[in-house]
Amino acid sequence: MRAALLAISGACLPLALAPIGWWPIALLSVAVLKGLVDQRPEGGHRASCAEVYGKFLFFGLGLYASGASWIFISIHQYGQASAVLSALLTVLFVIALAAIFALPMMLYGAVQPKGRWPQLLLFSAAWVLGEWFRGWFLTGFPWLYLGYGFIDSWLAGWAPVGGALAVSGMVALTACVIGLLPTAKRYPRQMAASAGIVAVLWVLGGVLHTAVWTQRANIEPLRTALIQPDLPILEKWQPDFLPATLAEMRAIAVANRTQDLLVWPESAIPALAHQVEPFLTELGHFANTAGSAVILGLPRRSLEGKYFNTVIGLGRATGSYEKRRLVPFGEYVPLESWLRGAIAFFDLPMSAFSSGAPNQRGISLNGNGIASAICYEIAYGAQVAIDARDAAFLLTVSIDTWFGDSLGPHQHLQIARMRALENGKPLARGTNDGITAFIDHRGRIVDQLPRFKADILYGEIAPRTGTTPYGYWRDWPVLIIATIAIFLGLTLHRRTQPAALE
């Protein structure tokens, strides 16, 4: 029953994220987790590390089985694997993610403090370090972070200061205090003090939400068209599909010559750059003549024979950007010599990319830098922050078709909103079939297109200068504070008298 309750609690947490957005659910979900982890086995003896790990594991199984269920669609519908095999691979994926989720939380499980202050410090700090670990380990999977669900709450004001990890830590701390409510009568002073600290953090978040961290640039807003072509993701790579695709792009460019910027999504041209060089030259010349800029995605092959997932600028936009964070199996195949050719899922179109260089000049428009991120990369807050410092705005292009009609595209959009808020810069998001959107520098959606519909979203991007505290320091202050909290919690745990812990 305890294992089932943990799994159900974890499965409920994604309800706090997009598209549902019931953020109080996250507080209750984590509060239940903490309460069950703190619960002693029969006889009152200390739980073993294996038992504590198991509790976090069951919570993680529910979390990822619910929140990352879209992986089944990617494997079955687009990887063309059978339903049975797709289900098996999805189960293995969920188990692996749950195991990684539970691993860093053993910082809390190894101590199992009974004192109120050690519990608050250790659990919240372990949660923050755990999210950072999940975004780093084996290239990372920075998805389903607590902080993302609170982008429309007062706590979101902390995002430009400490990023999503800071918001996650405050959510975890709030959940811990909620979990201590049953003991409020036994420890009224500690309960009042901890509730007061949480209240101050929420109120300060609301105050910080009104702060202006970046400044409007002294240039006119860019009239922008985000093209959502809604091309069939597998069929478009057939050779006979290319002429119609290029003709449609040419027609759209001509019809929108008065726009300052036209953006097509990731892999908008289903061919290598050198194969369509005459078309790119023509499109660039047309954009220059019209006084506009074009940004589009397509694969590129280097002279050394490596393939890169790339976005390029044409016309008034110059330069290119090569994707650095690749999606396992979607853009490269781990253990390729063993897995390539085993099933269709390991032979998806363009699944042999190489990572782009760590430091790239990227794309600029009329001399103003653009912080670009391709698809999954937008989930890496620290990487986006480095690129966003000197950028006028953020741009992310994607093919969310792989998610199907699931939670994935909505979660992806919410993550992009957090990046805009963290850096205080507007963000344009162009996708193949949704969710294409304009997001302002406070992380608010200005306008968006519905999914599964070919359309063009028109809007303005108001470039900004400057940077936020998070843009400058990234995750380091939060990680340092979490580490200090771990040591402080351990110190308080050792000094707490047993009599006070009964």
Q: pLDDT band at residue 1, thresholds of 50, 70 and 90?
A: confident
Q: Which positions ≥6 away from 306 have C-beta within 8 Å?
A: 354
Residue 51 catalytic? no
**CA angle, 89 then 74 then 398, to 5°:** 140
Q: What is the mean pLDDT of residues 386-404?
A: 95
Q: What is the pLDDT of residue 189?
A: 85
Q: What is the mean pLDDT of residues 461-483?
A: 97
Q: For 329, list phi and psi in degrees, rounded to 5.
A: 75, -35
Is 447 within 8 Å of 457 (Cβ atoms)?
yes
Does the predicted TM-score (pTM) go above 0.85? yes
For the chain, what is the radius of gyration of the CA atoms?
24
pLDDT, tens digit (0-9, with 9 covering 90-100), for 369-380? 999 999 999 999
Q: pLDDT band at residue 139, thresholds of 50, 70 and 90?
A: confident
Higher pLDDT pick, 43 / 282: 282
- DSSP SS3 for 438: strand
**CA angle, 116 then 121 then 125, to 5°:** 150
Q: What letters, b where the CB count within 10 A reaches 16 and e where it falls short, cover 384-408?
A: bbbbbeebbbbbbbbbbbbbbebbb
Active-site pick, 176, 331, 375, 425? 375
Q: What is the pLDDT of residue 502?
A: 37
The two three-digit tokens of residue 436, written as one number:
């294409």
Q: How many percent of the chain have pLDDT more than 70?
A: 93
Residue 323 catalytic? yes
Length of the chain: 502
| Cα-Cα end-to-end distance for the chain | 26
Q: What is the pLDDT of residue 346?
A: 53
Q: What letters, b where the CB count within 10 A reaches 16 and e where it falls short, cover 171-184?
A: bbbbbbbbbbeeee
Dump the DSSP string for 175-219: HHHHHTGGGTTTSHHHHHHHHHHHHHHHHHHHHHTT---SEE-SS
Distance (Å, whole) CA 462 – CA 391 = 12
Is the pLDDT confidence value at 276 over 60?
yes
pLDDT, tens digit (0-9, with 9 covering 90-100), for 358-367? 989 899 999 9
Distance (Å, whole) CA 177 – CA 180 = 5
Residue 322 catalytic? no
Write down all domains in the chain, each with its CATH number in brackets: 2-211+474-501 (no CATH), 215-467 (3.60.110.10)
Active-site pick, 236, 323, 377, 425? 323
Distance (Å, whole) CA 380 – CA 383 = 6
pLDDT, tens digit (0-9, with 9 covering 90-100), for 143-158? 999 999 999 999 999 9
pLDDT, tens digit (0-9, with 9 covering 90-100), for 280-336? 999 999 999 999 999 999 999 999 999 999 999 999 999 999 999 988 766 766 555
Q: What is the pLDDT of residue 368?
A: 94
The residue written with tokens 């843009």 in the block is 471
Active-site pick, 266, 322, 331, 377? 266
Q: pLDDT band at residue 194, thresholds of 50, 70 and 90?
A: very high
pLDDT, tens digit (0-9, with 9 covering 90-100), for 82-121? 899 889 999 999 999 999 999 998 888 778 777 788 889 9
Is 451 within 8 Å of 230 (Cβ atoms)?
no
Strand 464-465 to 293-301 pairing: unpaired
Q: pLDDT band at residue 501, thresholds of 50, 70 and 90?
A: very low
Higher pLDDT pick, 410 / 336: 410
